Amino acid sequence: MNKRLFFLIVICLLIIYRCFNNREKDNSTAKTTKLIELASSFEGVKYRAGGMTKKGMDCSGLVSVCFKSIDVQLPRSSARMSSVGTKISLNEVEKGDLLFFNIDRLKGKINHVGLVTSTESEIQFIHSTTSKGVIYSSINENYWKDSFVIAKRVITH
């Protein structure tokens, strides 16, 4: 009798654990969806240094505003932002992760950030560029591939 009871308790605990674990995954999926939807709403907004609105924004402003919408406070600069989260390889990148770059003409080892929006056929990210404003790009483009420094995960998937 004690073995049966013990076995039943273990099974119940496993079921409860799986339910809570799935809720965490559902919550992170919802946050990632909200994050990407908000970022996408800024597509076409012109570049403005220090900007964080539809009137104009820079790369870290875009990422900051989007993460703030899911109650995640990030540092304002891409360099400082790169110190947050867990380092991951490009092979591990998922929607909602951050990509950091070193653009030669700008100061600092990390001076640009983008938000991963798709990993289906290639890694695509949304970011704000000085020339085109908020756009989507692919890590497969030579410019971005050559400038890539590190990927970080801020939202646990």
The contacts of residue 19 (CB under 8 Å, 6+ apart) are none
Active site residue 59: yes
**Closest of 70, 71, 65 to residue 128, by C-alpha:** 65
Exactly one of 12, 66, 112, 157 is catalytic; which is it?
Answer: 112
Task: Select which of 12, 19, 59, 66 is catalytic.
Answer: 59
Does the annotation count 157 as an active-site position?
Answer: no
Amino acid in the structure at residue 43: E
Name the active-site residue from 12, 19, 66, 127.
Answer: 127
What is 97-134 written as a DSSP string?
-EEEE--TTSSSS--EEEEEEE-SSS-EEEEEETTTEE
The rounded distance, in Å, linking the Cα atoms of 18 and 134 is: 39
Q: Give 29-46 as a DSSP string.
A: HHHHHHHHHHHHHTTTPP
Question: What amino acid occupies position 62?
Answer: L
Catalytic residue annotation = 59, 112, 127
